[in-house]
Amino acid sequence: MSDHSHSHPTPGLYVLIVLALFVGTCLTWGIAFIDLGIWNPVVALTIAVVKALLVILFFMHVYYSNRLTKLTVAAGFFWLLIMISMSLSDYMTRTFLPQ
Amino acid sequence: MPTEKVRRFPLSTSQTTTTEHPALAHQFDSMEQQQDASTFGMWVFLLTEIMMFGGLFTAYLIYRIKYYPAFVAGSTSISVSWGFANTLVLIGSSFTMAMAVWAAQKGKRNAQVWFLIGTMVLGAAFLGVKAKEYYDKFDECHIPGHVIGKGFNTWGGCSATDKSLGNIAEEIRDPKHGNPNIPEVSADQTAKQTEIFFSFYFAMTGLHAFHMLIGLGLLAWLTLRAKSGEFGPRYYTPVELGGLYWHFVDIVWIFLFPLLYLISRHQHGV
């Protein structure tokens, strides 16, 4: 197993990441004014997830971290997804059956 | 038993000559182990933060589904341009923070201090814009409750806004214009529901701004320590962990921006 805990990203990579984040922000802002029907929230949140991943992996160095840190971060977001998906699957399906 | 890994107290001088660093706490074998433990601890703290903001996000989404027209009306009344500008400012501050950590790793003391100061300037700019947005909401009587300002007012009459929240919500409920699936509720109920949107808006952005204030305090403290030359290639954990906190606050905003400002610009059913 190769341990990346001693390698670090370079300023050049940070510049690339921040430019990608700026592009993502402009993109999500522009798309908000285009009518995509129900896809507006989906596209906006997809861009947000990609931006968050770039911040977590590179600015927060998770890509270069040891396995314990990676597992910890993944467990946290997994739990967050459980909370959101299970809560919404309840509230969104309450009207499926006649009252 | 690998005796060379056992640290006895008090340390003998022979053990301290090569690797001992003044910042190494006695319970750790090495600086690397200490940093790994600190990073793990910081992430566990951030996970509790994720769950706290996550609870607010979940509640917001549930109420948005339930009170869709009112939430669209509330969301279209906040300024996308200011939110967009603030997103760019906050991402910029994350970049300077990442560079501050890099400068600390490389032992560049001046660069480190300037990147930290740059991060604080951008963070303060974000809070300034936020204050302007809050003042606009105060001016439009969109502060929930009746304690602050002139009280919440959905139907206009507080300031010279051309379209009241109540009218926007009514329009979305109109089957000719919007979604026919949205159940009939009285106009007064719609008014109450826009107040709920603004309760979420202020709770979420307020909690986020509070985290920024704490972050600014941490950055000021880190700047003073960086100025004294405390951090270098072997010890920069405080800057690294301060960075983790700052980037986390950035991530929260990356989700707040689309959820509060963007996704309700077009009025469609859920």
Residues of chain A positioned with their CB less than 8 A from the CB of B258: 28, 32, 41, 44-45, 47-48
In this prediction, residue B1 carries a pLDDT of 47
Query: How many cross-chain Cβ pairs, A to B, lie less than 8 Å apart?
Result: 138
Helices and strands in chain A, H and E counts: 3, 0
More confident call, B25 vs B151: B25
| Residue B39 C-alpha, separation from nearest chain A C-alpha, in angstroms | 8
More confident call, B249 vs B155: B249
Domain ranges, ordered by start, for chain B: 66-262
Q: How many residues does chain A have?
A: 99
Domain ranges, ordered by start, for chain A: 8-64, 66-99
Residues of chain B positioned with their CB less than 8 A from the CB of A63: none
For domain B66-262, the CATH architecture is: Up-down Bundle (1.20)
More confident call, B9 vs A37: A37
In this prediction, residue B136 carries a pLDDT of 86
Helix (H) or strand (E) holding A29: helix A11-31
Q: What is the ipTM of this complex?
A: 0.90
Q: What is the pLDDT of residues B71-89, one digit of tens each?
A: 888 888 889 999 999 999 9
Which band of pLDDT confidence, cut at 50, 70 and 90, is reported for residue A4? very low
Q: What is the pLDDT of residues A39-94, one digit of tens each?
A: 889 999 999 999 999 999 999 999 999 999 999 999 999 999 999 999 999 988 88
| Residue A42 C-alpha, separation from nearest chain B C-alpha, in angstroms | 9
pTM comes to 0.86
Residues of chain A positioned with their CB less than 8 A from the CB of B51: 76, 79-80, 83
Q: What is the pLDDT of residues B112-150, one digit of tens each?
A: 999 999 999 999 999 999 999 999 888 777 888 777 766
Q: Given an 8 Å threshold on Cβ–Cβ distance, is B254 in contact with A84? A: no
